[in-house]
Structure 1
Amino acid sequence: MRDSHTTARFTVARRSLVAALCAALSLAACAKAEPGGGPGNGDGAAGGYEVLELRYQGFVGAVSVLELAEDLGYLAPIKLNYVGNTISGPQDIQTVVTGDTDVGHAFNGAVIKLIAAGAPLRAVVGSYGVDAKRWSGFYVTEDSPIRSARDLIGKKVAMNTLGAHHELMLKEYLSRQGLTSAEIAQVTLVVLPPVSTEQALRQKQVDVAVLGDVLRDKALERGGIRALFSDFELFGEFTAGSYVLTTRFLRENPNSTRKLVEAAARAIEWARAAPRDEAVARLRSIIERRQRNEDASVVKYWTSMGVAGKGGLLSAKEYKIWIDWLVKDGEIKEGQIKPEDLYTNQLNPFAATPAQ
């Protein structure tokens, strides 16, 4: 397992990557950093769409909003081009900046940090969130001596990546419980794929594990673990992550972008309204048909996409809370970035109706 020195190296590496991306954006070679879209039909022959293919990364055992939208037929004639899997939202949107994919999604805090570093990105529609049905908990084994935030000092906490949703949730919890910055720094963060986290917890390789959604419910069904806290307890219902595109893609492919946003918005509302059994059956069918050697059985625990805004509408408050946190944590400067620099709802067909 990784120790605190390794965790520090992860943090340094992450900051170095952001710095490198920022530097790259200042060079003429940054043309690749703002791709005009993946291979497609550039003549707009199909209904005026500038590109007919969108490169993206998937998550093992999960169906994203865009994957659901394509399966429902909402994205046609545009198609998704799967280029591989990721376990990290920050990595997913970094590939959009470097031009290796056309669309990606991540925790809004990670989106803020990358745009603040100079990345030419804009969030266009919600991708996931937290509600009473879909949330992530920080779990320990039943026999663990850990009962409070202070008990986490010197302990190892497993999560899918650094600098994103789970790290900020942990720091918020520790801060609310009165720990100082120096004490919070003594909690070691360990990066593990979500599918491996439960096993690491049960084998005592880590002291705390973040478990969310279907993986959480599957672990709870096996028993022997208990929750310390959850992101829903901390913040209630909120859209936590967004799909992003480069500003160049937005500028050069307005019709394809509008179709992407519309498809995602409709898929979010379909998932909200569909009977749970119908939704689960469709998600299982998507996983089975795409043949990526995944376990589709966990989909039976699916409950919600968790997106708060109607049709994935984004709101300033869902970015402002993380801007304030990142300023307090010293990751960005006061006034460096504003919510309106980060997202747009102009392409969302639900923008004319009140957000819910």
Structure 2
Amino acid sequence: MRNRLMPCVLAAVAVAAAACGGEAATAPDGTELTEVTVGIVPFSPNAVLFLAMERGMFAERGLSVTVEPAASPIPVVASLVAEQAEFGFVTTPVLINANREGTPIKCVSPVDGQVSPDRDSSALVAAAGSGIDSLDDLSGRTVAVVQLASINLIGAKKLIEDAGATGTEYVAMPFPQMPQALADGRVDAAVITSPYVETALDAGAVTLANPSSQLFPTGTIYCYAATDRFLADNPELARAFQETMTEAITYAGQHEDEAKATLVEHLQLTPEQAQAQIIPSNYVPEINLDSITTIQDLMRAQGAIDSSVDPADVVWQPQG
């Protein structure tokens, strides 16, 4: 924790949307707030966190939250280990790999709930004019993913290989750079998320699949995590963060337009763009352990890992 607000530092992402800022310096009862930094990858599901900040839900539990954007979950994990952030966005594959490789971190809260089987804010899209209109056209083609140990890579690879495509190459690229890379022909396809996927689609990109909702309905594909050391030293703070996110996820499910409205300030969208965003959640504020097992099994089947972790060991539960 910090005795002053950490300045909001923009990561090297091509987005003017610096989701900075925290809450008032004191709680509703006048007591001083504990300042907490949350590492995020800027995308539409952050709306739930932003909503909790703006409605004072964190302040009600004694916390003042500042967010620090990053290009992908890997630098977020680094900031957790370096104690530059208390909580941070990770995808399930990053969570699994970090624990396998000796960096013990645990999911504390979902980001926005579980994956909705009916809607998805991310898509595997093909570049306009590429001649690609189905997954089996991706043989020998290049597909951009946010990182090479990502849920997007795992999902895309599963669907592409099941379609019979071979020789597909995957390259790492931050989400904000993907629409231009598609338009320039530097990649043939990309797994891209809101609000950047709308830019690509407006430029003529073609949706081929929605890997997350197709493969992991009601699953946990990302979460806010913290290090085991931090959680051991600060269980009450972690409980306060978890309880706030549970409240925010439930509230957002009943007031989705209000949640989306936070993206105007925090992701610098227009009001119309903000309301057009998809929050791909069923708004169930629980970690789905079975889905972590499913994702881990898929990683092993693809040769991405050669050992496993117990899903129960990578999810934090308060004691008592």
Contact 2:145/2:173 (8 A) holds in 1 = yes
Q: What's 1:80 paired with?
A: 65
Contact 2:178/2:192 (8 A) holds in 1 = yes
Q: 1:216-260 deviations in whole A, cap 9, x for unaligned?
A: 23443x252211111223333433101111112112112111110
Taking structure 1 as reference, are residues 147 and 198 closer, same or farther at Cα in structure 2, changes over 3 Å only?
Answer: same
Answer yes or no: is 1:56 the counterpart of 2:30. no
Q: 1:82-141 deviations in whole A, cap 9, x for unaligned?
A: 4x4212023212321232221101111111110111112111111145322333111113
The amino acid that maps onto 1:203 is D
| SS, match of residue 130 in structure 1 | coil
Which structure has more helix as a fraction of its residues?
1
Cα RMSD of the aligned pairs, angstroms, is 2.9
Q: What's 1:303 paired with?
A: 278
Contact 1:122/1:247 (8 A) holds in 2 = yes
Percent identity for Structure 1 against Structure 2: 23
Residues 1-356 of structure 1 mapped to structure 2, 5 A cutoff: 37-39=1-3, 52-60=34-42, 62=44, 63-76=46-59, 77-82=62-67, 84-128=68-112, 129-131=114-116, 132-178=118-164, 183=166, 186-220=167-201, 222=202, 224-231=204-211, 232-276=213-257, 278-284=258-264, 286-287=265-266, 295-297=268-270, 298-304=273-279, 306-308=280-282, 310-311=284-285, 313-334=286-307, 336-346=308-318
**Greater radius of gyration (CA):** 1
Segments of 5+ residues of structure 1 without an aligned counterpart are: 1-36, 288-293, 349-356
Q: 1:250-303 deviations in whole A, cap 9, x for unaligned?
A: 121121111100111111111111152x3333332x42xxxxxx5322423223
Contact 2:43/2:195 (8 A) holds in 1 = no
TM (normalized to structure 1)?
0.72
Aligned length: 289
Segments of 5+ residues of structure 2 without an aligned counterpart are: 5-25
| SS, match of residue 140 in structure 2 | coil
The amino acid that maps onto 2:227 is T
Q: Distance in 2 between matches of 1:309 and 1:343?
A: 18
Contact 1:72/1:267 (8 A) holds in 2 = no
The amino acid that maps onto 1:126 is P
TM (normalized to structure 2)?
0.79
Q: Distance in 2 between matches of 1:275 and 1:64?
A: 9
Q: Distance in 1 between matches of 2:180 and 2:204?
A: 12
Q: Distance in 2 between matches of 1:177 and 1:153?
A: 10
